[in-house]
A and B are shown apart, each in its own frame.
Chain A
């Protein structure tokens, strides 16, 4: 009797046990993180390629290569970013913006730029001696920045010159020349060859990044008008290279230092 009773108890436990098992496995189990392993895998040259992916990329690459490799002009010698106050790269870039931007500004707004000011740091590459291609333009100007013209009062032009003097960088300028006096103040300011008039409004071409106060060019934020010409600086360079057969070495002095 006793024996039988015990047996029955065992069976009932076993049934209970199976039921529990079934219940647990039907529900989503709560999972606990037991171990985490983290690492960085370098994509090295020994890593084999996926041939399907490579074949997929090829037509895109070939099209770009063909396009970018077309020779647009020739550089008789290397243009670089060497120079305290002006560089051959900066002079070329700012002059190209003036030259290619003005017809657009004129046709849209019936106005002309007086000055072009870009930033030294925005020139990302030099132009090596030899063939100049669209790839060169991409290397100089990989960003998508476009040309913006800001109307500045005379007061802001002086702020701009003070900024250049304080920064001591060869920010590319076109249409403007001046001398840094012994007192570290700008003098002999000529805009489009004419003496600077504090009461006049000047149209300054720059890029959208600087126009919004980039590189602390805060004087641009005080502009009274802003015209977005929607002309990418890179395209300006490409169009400029297409116009000239030979890339000029422009080394005139735009910022003089009084001795």
Chain B
């Protein structure tokens, strides 16, 4: 850090001294990362029928796949993420136990997912049995799977390098007691999301030096009737070093990402795209390596 700052300062001085060349034109690199995300797809593989009262003719994996592919053509730097509750909701799950969901997500080249409460619906063993069909990883930082079959199979975080952009992603799950049958989650231990999130974000941003830190969360967007319950909106305000929270669980349809202030007054985006694969969330991050160019601050267009 220190050395790099020194180099920047020296170089700037040099440029001023006599060469008359703009350093930034050499040094600055503009990069573009596209985050695509879903949540609570709940085994909805086919589109809704045209007669459906709420989402007529919406959704469907084959259409989502084509949309994702067209976005990849526009910008190859894509991270495709899911915030949990992949399982349960249509007979596809009852018949195949999640096999088709995982295979289709693999074909669509999902990069990472976190676990929702319904992903335990066939028990932790049922989830484990389907894992070989998933060619992408799962992250959960606050579920301790040490004494379960998932020990070592679900990661606490994952770091991606996309065109030189270092992206750290960690996962958060909801409290299981009272929501999921104990016989299904077995010896999984739930830890408080706030403390875990803060540790993860610090690790990823400062130790691993990620350019972007994303939290894949299944703790829910907000609980109006339970103001004390932890949720994405509260998490955003209580922590720092998280750039984007991609949420799930509450099936919240946000027209656009919510922009909130974190514990140190910096912007955090929180997004959730409803449920059943009716929408695809898209957040584009544009990066500059030249701090000078950021003199006017970053702009958030939502």
Task: Report A's interface with B, CB cutoff 8 A.
Answer: 10, 13-14, 16-17, 20-21, 23-25, 27-45, 47-54, 56-57, 60-61, 63-64, 67-68, 135, 138, 142, 144, 208, 212, 234
CB distance from B130 to the nearest CB of A (A): 14
Residue B288, interface by CB 8 Å:
yes
Instruction: Give the residue of A17, A36, A61, A138 whose beta carbon is less than 8 angstroms from that of B46.
Output: A61
Which positions 80-122 of chain B face chain A at CB distance < 8 Å? 88-89, 91-92, 94-96, 100, 103-104, 107-108, 121-122
Task: Report B's interface with A, CB cutoff 8 A.
Answer: 4, 7, 10-11, 14-15, 17-19, 26-27, 29-31, 45-47, 57-67, 69, 88-89, 91-92, 94-96, 100, 103-104, 107-108, 121-122, 164-166, 178, 181, 211-212, 243, 253-257, 269, 271, 273, 277-291, 293-294, 298-302
Instruction: Give the residue of B14, B104, B122, B273 whose beta carbon is less than 8 angstroms from that of A13.
Output: B14
A144 to B123, CA, bound (A): 11
Contact A38 B67 (CB under 8 A): no
CB distance from A57 to the nearest CB of B (A): 6
Most A-side CB within 10 Å, residue of B91, B294, B301: B91
Between A and B, 20 residue pairs with Cβ closer than 8 Å are A21-B11, A21-B27, A24-B7, A24-B11, A29-B29, A31-B165, A31-B211, A31-B287, A33-B287, A35-B299, A35-B300, A37-B286, A38-B284, A40-B280, A41-B282, A45-B63, A47-B67, A49-B65, A53-B66, A53-B107
CB distance from B300 to the nearest CB of A (A): 5
A234 to B157, CA, bound (A): 38
Contact A34 B286 (CB under 8 A): yes
Instruction: Give the residue of A34, A38, A61 whose beta carbon is less than 8 angstroms from that of B256.
Output: A38
Chain B residues with Cβ under 8 A from A23's Cβ?
7
Chain A residues with Cβ under 8 A from B285's Cβ?
33, 35-36
Q: Which residue of B lies closest to A17 (CB)?
A: B14
CB distance from A192 to the nearest CB of B (A): 30
CB distance from A220 to the nearest CB of B (A): 14
Excluding A38-B283, A38-B301, A61-B46, 20 further A-B contacts by CB distance (< 8 Å) are A24-B4, A29-B164, A31-B211, A32-B290, A34-B293, A36-B301, A37-B301, A37-B302, A38-B256, A38-B271, A38-B281, A41-B67, A44-B57, A45-B47, A50-B62, A52-B65, A53-B65, A57-B45, A60-B100, A144-B94
Chain A residues with Cβ under 8 A from B69's Cβ?
50
Chain A residues with Cβ under 8 A from B108's Cβ?
53
Chain A residues with Cβ under 8 A from B7's Cβ?
20, 23-24
The answer to whether residues A39 and B302 also contact, given A21-B26, A56-B104, A64-B95 and a CB cut-off of 8 A, is: yes
